[in-house]
Copies of this chain bind each other. A is one copy, B any other.
Amino acid sequence: MSKEITARSEDYSQWYNDLVLKGGLADYSAVKGCMVIKPYGFGLWEGMRDVLDKMFKDTGHQNAYFPLFIPKSFLSKEADHVEGFAKECAVVTHYRLKVDEQNGGVVVDPEAKLEEELIVRPTSETIIWNTYKNWIQSHRDLPLLINQWANVVRWEMRTRLFLRTAEFLWQEGHTAHATADEAIAETRQMLDVYADFAENWMALPVVKGVKSANERFAGAVDTYCIEALMQDGKALQAGTSHFLGQNFAKAFDVQFTNKENKLEYVWATSWGVSTRLIGALVMAHSDDDGLVLPPRIAPLQVVIVPIYKGDDQKARIDEKVHAIMADLKKAGIRVKYDDSDNARPGWKFAEYELKGVPVRIALGARDLENNVAEVARRDNKTKESLSLDNLAGTVQNLLDEIQQNIYNKAKAYRDGHITQVDTWDEFIATLDGKAGFVSAHWDGTSETEEAIKEKTKATIRCIPLNNPQEEGKCILTGKPSKERVLFARAY
């Protein structure tokens, strides 16, 4: 199996597609730009979703569900918002088909035209704030802390599995607050939740920062983000948390009576991560033999493969494995025994390597006699013979070690790929060298950022939080600057 994966050095993009398709994460569909998430990929998403969902609930949020459709007119109520989303909307114009008497098949029924077209939600601020208008009257109704798990659609011309698809799955938090300070605190709290999840579950080191005006969410006052680095030196925005000010409250006229009994507009946040995170996971850790999944979110953490000749050996191995399985499951470990007889052990090894299962245990008749098993790590490809006594404890420790090792490796790579440059030539050379984040001075204007993007395809990924202040000159214009920002080419 592993031979079918294109090497990163040969064609990074094809390597990624191979992993996603052959690793069983996703498939193309008959609808341009829409993917099918296959069971293994969806299992990964379910695990990520459950962890995030608990984090949201632990910070006081509740889930709800808002309509898939948004009346077209809602989109234009917030001036920046419409600019950001109108160009990539799926538009529902009719509500009925009819059989085509002449040619067979079905055609749109021209008599079933909607009075007002509906947009398939690209994000739900507008429909949600239109609803919040009815839910918020007094300061006692605040804060309102709601999250939604949903599918959204943004019509993209160039799509990539997980990274950029017309439809994707995500969660979107939408909160309402009595003061700007509270809303900003919420925005930053959720950024911390995302960073915690990325680092401690996905083993993905991230830079926390704020977006420049050009990269800000359409309708936000400030967009906070976490930015990760992929193995080809490109950055990937892994999550965003927006302070929306009173923009949507004003657009939808959502006011509350404060404690002084005066009417005020409500303060808002929104924040989201999506199935794009799966793309980030794949590209951050995997190698030329397949996926490398961090144990804490791997759908399957351990696979056990028997090595035997004849039914008698098989029966003895089975008996032992069932005891081992029981111990592992008791320890909360996700384990599978693959004793299917339609593939050889070597084929199975390659298959689970491709699928990124963190630990593989092979057990043969000889091992059984010696009370050991061959335990192989996916992350660094080492193998050792380990005692069957307290194997669950050993494996638990090993999973923790693997989790840490995957994170350390990604962090060492990321830390080694932040380069400070002070001249335009260095800037270009560093970008072209696929060196990751480039830390450079910028004059703070949208025009300069746009010019840099046009010349190099690099964008400002973020202005890191707690950024050191330092006098310098913009790499493009030479104008004065007070701090460095992180540039990169990005997914």
Chain A interface (Cβ within 8 Å of chain B)? 27, 29-31, 34-39, 42-43, 45-46, 62-76, 82, 86-99, 104-106, 108, 117-120, 127, 130-131, 134-135, 140, 146, 150-151, 153, 155, 167, 169, 342
Q: Are A119 and B131 in contact (CB under 8 A)?
A: no
Query: Is the Cβ of B39 less than 8 Å from the Cβ of A146?
Result: yes
**B-side contacts of A70, CB under 8 Å:** 31
CB pair A96–B87 under 8 Å, yes or no, is yes
* Cβ–Cβ contact A95 & B88, under 8 A: yes
A151 partner residues in chain B, CB cutoff 8 A: 68, 150-151
A64 lies within 8 A of B39 (CB): yes
* Chain B residues whose C-beta falls within 8 Å of the C-beta of A63 in the assembled complex: 39, 42-43, 46
Q: How far is the CA of A63 from the CA of B96 in the complex (A)?
A: 30
The contact of A92 among B105, B120, B135, B140, by CB within 8 Å, is: B120
Contact status B43-A62, CB under 8 Å? yes
Nearest-neighbour CB distance to chain B for A221, whole angstroms, equals 23
Least CB separation from A135: chain B residue: B27
A89 in contact with B99 (CB, 8 Å): no
Across-interface contacts of A37 in B (CB, < 8 A): 64-65
In whole angstroms, what is the CA distance A73 to B135 when docked? 42
Q: Quick check: A35 and B167 within 8 Å, CB to CB?
A: no
CA distance A69 to B127 in the complex (A): 21
A146–B64 CA distance with the chains assembled, in angstroms: 26
- Chain B residue at minimum C-beta to C-beta distance from A167: B68
A130: B residues at CB distance < 8 A: 30
Residue of B nearest to A157 (CB): B95
A304 to B167, CA, bound (A): 44
Known contacts A69-B34, A91-B93; A76 and B106 CB within 8 A of each other: yes
Q: How far is the CA of A75 from the CA of B30 in the complex (A)?
A: 13
Q: How far is the CB of A231 from chain B (nearest CB, A)?
A: 27
Task: Judge whether B120 and A72 touch: CB under 8 Å.
Answer: no
User: How near does chain B come to A51, taking the closest CB pair, in angstroms?
Assistant: 15
**CB atoms of B120 and A68 under 8 A apart:** yes
Quote the shortest CB–CB distance from A395 to chain B (angstroms). Answer: 23
Could you list 21 examples of A-B contacts with CB < 8 Å?
Answer: A29-B66, A29-B67, A30-B67, A31-B69, A31-B70, A36-B66, A36-B67, A39-B146, A43-B63, A68-B120, A72-B106, A82-B106, A86-B96, A86-B106, A87-B98, A90-B118, A91-B92, A92-B92, A92-B120, A93-B93, A96-B155
Separation in Å of the A355 CB from the closest CB of chain B? 14
> Which of A64, A73, A135 has the most C-beta atoms of chain B within 10 angstroms of its own C-beta?
A64
B-chain residues with CB within 8 Å of residue A96 when the two chains form the complex: 86-89, 91, 155
Rounded to whole angstroms, the CA-CA distance of A71 and B30 in the bound complex is 8
Closest to A92 in B: B90
